[in-house]
Chain A
């Protein structure tokens, strides 16, 4: 086969406690669009890191790029071979400008030791023009939204003579529309002979774009298949080895007193006249496009960005929430959207991260942490959320992305709040884990908790919520009862608004 770009044989990687990859063979042809799927912790990111040279495979591995055997030691080796990676965490420089971030690979690759600022701008402008985006060149990265940051990362990858573009979960922070334009870019690149390898948990997207799909399970390669003829169910089955059942969530609770009631909540420029009631046992879905004000609403309810007008009642009592501490005291929990930035102490152990919010409940009569209670609490959460960890004391950053997300969830669920707000609870989580997280959410609701799920994914809110509100431009434009609506109806409502 002459048109093979990358060929990897016998790739294994052992970390203390886990075998992240186990004798995997893998190849990509020139200009191919290839997808890598698998459950959280199945080794996808690790495989990519080996391709890029950030992680060294165990001995016995053989990697060829365009027929040359390469000894990967540094990421610069693979960059020079035309392999560009956009990592799950984007790996941008938050303190530098858009232009510098985009042109950086070029700067490093160039032989000159001097920076030419005019060229920096030219390179960035050219890269942005290539995919038709406009982001202010002098803006600092940490002032951008995640979606824009992602575009910057893509532009950066396009500045060099790229032959293989690797994207680790590129779509998890993008709206549907942005995903479509990303796919157009990928197709464009393909026309230029550039191959793309990408990881995603959204199987419908995988089937839409990929020509070939490789499935990993527990570090082993299950199969590489052409995507034609594959279905969601088949893929899920290959990934997990089991069949998924979807059921709906319904509950009859209107006779009770509402846990939370909002009347005409507003914040200038964020959202307006938001009114709703949340009953015990409710799972209320809030959907709508990114930027519809749903995250801002959640932050207001959690005291991060207090609302300016309107009234809020908890169990019939009128309250005002001015700070996060107050919100927590009133029994409100919030799992933020951006799992990597907020909520985790990355170099502390999984165990410590989980118990951080509930530490006062684990004290013994001397006000010291009771080791037995601590152990029980940790084991329980790790088991309940089936968090896959190398060891109890492994630092969080050694976990796969999806497993980190579960730790965040565990941390907040462990506080057993009255009202739990989950913003994108399953972004970046594999299908099997998704359903286990949904089960946990239902179980919590069943015990009288009121839950608000904010999500892009209509199927997610449709299947798991008994009521669904659609937000657009800061207002609630529609409300559905899930027993009398359909997925299509909700989707149409969103599409019509935009």
Chain B
């Protein structure tokens, strides 16, 4: 029990429960399965990106460019499948290739020029996005193929409300969950995953211990790129239009969700479970405020407040921990 309260996740979970209780008393529609499946689907986009960001943060870096990568992946995919036809498999392949390639460029720049990751990726965000806008002219794409439209409606299982409305686990949500599981296995059970934690804890020590730093960075940023590509695809599936300017600008929402979940911007710490909670909290707040008919402007204020409280709280806990160690040594 005492151990439980050492974890950041416990507190986030408590906050989620409290929020949910408040929202439900105001609007009972909140606590329905239907609403949950809906939420999970529409937050898959942020959720998938958050998985990538979590890994980047654990490795001790940061990536800002993922929204641009997602946009480029989405756009290239849409143009190609409209022009040459194809199926869902080609669509996934396209976003994956674009995402991984752009991620690899990030990794190479970071490793060889040794520029801080935040600066590198701010620069590549602008480059990737800029090139896309120049070439595409910022045109929106609406004429997506039918198979693409139909795919978005696939459910792994379907339930019915009392009124006869259908809902269930969307294939999009399922993709997000599958990604979480794969990422969790990588982080927990592979040498690579532990290398990512080690590198985030101390780059110098990791180098001395014999980790292949370039290899790890290559994986981390390519994985982020892959996540961005898939998220771009998910976004296109969700809204069924491809708008070049709809994703860029959401970076901070995603990073906020991950930081809420306990990952530290200093690197070396963070868990996927925490990230899931972070995304959940953000989703619930967004949804809850709508259900409570609070103006959406308040949403940003709330997110800001919750982040400050969350980060401030972990910093406070760390200080208390230091005090406790002193006490033990004194006796």
Residue contacts A-B, CB under 8 angstroms, 22 given: A54-B208, A74-B210, A85-B208, A91-B205, A93-B205, A94-B268, A100-B194, A105-B210, A107-B191, A108-B191, A108-B209, A108-B210, A108-B211, A114-B189, A114-B191, A115-B190, A115-B191, A145-B329, A269-B330, A270-B330, A305-B323, A473-B331
B321 CB–A CB distance under 8 Å: yes
Query: Whole-angstrom distance between the alpha carbons of A93 and B59 in the complex?
Result: 12
Partner of A87, one of B194, B208, B268, B327: B208
B207 CB–A CB distance under 8 Å: yes
- Asked whether, in the complex, the Cβ of A296 is within 8 Å of the Cβ of B326, the reply is yes
Look across to chain B and name the residue whose beta carbon is closest to the beta carbon of A290.
B329
Given A93-B197, A107-B194, answer yes or no on A271-B330 (Cβ-Cβ < 8 Å).
Answer: yes
Q: Mark A375-400, 1 if CB is under 8 A from B, else 0.
A: 00000000000000000000000000
Tell me what chain B mostly uses at the interface: helix, strand, loop, or mixed: helix
- Measured between beta carbons, the chain B residues less than 8 angstroms from A100 are 194
- Measured between beta carbons, the chain B residues less than 8 angstroms from A231 are none
A41 CB–B CB distance under 8 Å: no
- Asked whether, in the complex, the Cβ of B197 is within 8 Å of the Cβ of A75, the reply is no
Q: Mark B174-208, 1 if CB is under 8 A from A, else 0.
A: 00000000000000111111100110111011111
Query: Shortest beta-carbon distance, A158 to chain B, in Å?
Result: 15
Q: Max chain A CB contacts within 10 Å: which of B192, B194, B206? A: B194
B241 CB–A CB distance under 8 Å: no
Query: Shortest beta-carbon distance, B114 to chain A, in Å?
Result: 12
A52 CB–B CB distance under 8 Å: yes
- Measured between beta carbons, the chain A residues less than 8 angstroms from B326 are 270, 295-296, 299, 305
Q: Mark B311-331, 1 if CB is under 8 A from A, else 0.
A: 000000000010101110111
Query: Whole-angstrom distance between the alpha carbons of A299 and B330 in the complex?
Result: 12
Query: Shortest beta-carbon distance, A200 to chain B, in Å?
Result: 21
Q: Mark B288-308, 1 if CB is under 8 A from A, else 0.
A: 000000000000000000000
Partner of B209, one of A105, A110, A115, A474: A105
Query: Whole-angstrom distance between the alpha carbons of A143 and B204 in the complex?
Result: 20
Partner of A104, one of B188, B209, B327, B331: B209
- Asked whether, in the complex, the Cβ of B269 is within 8 Å of the Cβ of A95, the reply is yes
- Measured between beta carbons, the chain B residues less than 8 angstroms from A192 are none
Query: Whole-angstrom distance between the alpha carbons of A130 and B227 in the complex?
Result: 45
Query: Shortest beta-carbon distance, A414 to chain B, in Å?
Result: 27
Q: Mark A98-131, 1 if CB is under 8 A from B, else 0.
A: 0010001101111011110000000000000000
Query: Shortest beta-carbon distance, A188 to chain B, in Å?
Result: 24
Given A113-B192, A269-B330, A271-B330, answer yes or no on A96-B198 (Cβ-Cβ < 8 Å).
Answer: yes
Partner of B327, one of A75, A79, A269: A269
A445 CB–B CB distance under 8 Å: no
Could you tell me how many residues of chain A have their Cβ less than 8 Å away from some Cβ of chain B? 41
Tell me what chain A mostly uses at the interface: helix, strand, loop, or mixed: loop
The size class of the interface chain B forms with chain A is: 20 to 34
Look across to chain A and name the residue whose beta carbon is closest to the beta carbon of B188.
A115
**A residues 279-293 touching B (CB-CB < 8 Å):** 290-291, 293
- Measured between beta carbons, the chain A residues less than 8 angstroms from B206 are 93
Look across to chain B and name the residue whose beta carbon is closest to the beta carbon of A92.
B205
- Asked whether, in the complex, the Cβ of B208 is within 8 Å of the Cβ of A52, the reply is yes
- Measured between beta carbons, the chain A residues less than 8 angstroms from B325 are 143, 145
- Measured between beta carbons, the chain B residues less than 8 angstroms from A76 are 210
- Measured between beta carbons, the chain A residues less than 8 angstroms from B194 are 96, 100, 104, 107, 115
Query: Whole-angstrom distance between the alpha carbons of A157 and B103 in the complex?
Result: 36
Partner of A293, one of B189, B190, B197, B330: B330
Query: Whole-angstrom distance between the alpha carbons of A498 and B189 in the complex?
Result: 45
Query: Whole-angstrom distance between the alpha carbons of A299 and B325 in the complex?
Result: 14
- Asked whether, in the complex, the Cβ of A96 is within 8 Å of the Cβ of B210, the reply is no
Partner of A93, one of B191, B192, B202: B202
- Measured between beta carbons, the chain B residues less than 8 angstroms from A96 are 194, 197-198, 201
Q: Mark A210-227, 1 if CB is under 8 A from B, else 0.
A: 000000000000000000
Q: Mark A457-492, 1 if CB is under 8 A from B, else 0.
A: 000000000000000011000000000000000000
- Measured between beta carbons, the chain A residues less than 8 angstroms from B208 are 52, 54, 75, 85, 87, 91
- Asked whether, in the complex, the Cβ of A94 is within 8 Å of the Cβ of B201, the reply is yes
- Asked whether, in the complex, the Cβ of B201 is within 8 Å of the Cβ of A54, the reply is no
Query: Whole-angstrom distance between the alpha carbons of A216 and B82 in the complex?
Result: 72
- Measured between beta carbons, the chain A residues less than 8 angstroms from B198 are 93, 96, 104
Query: Whole-angstrom distance between the alpha carbons of A92 and B198 in the complex?
Result: 9
- Measured between beta carbons, the chain B residues less than 8 angstroms from A110 are 191
Query: Whole-angstrom distance between the alpha carbons of A230 and B331 in the complex?
Result: 40
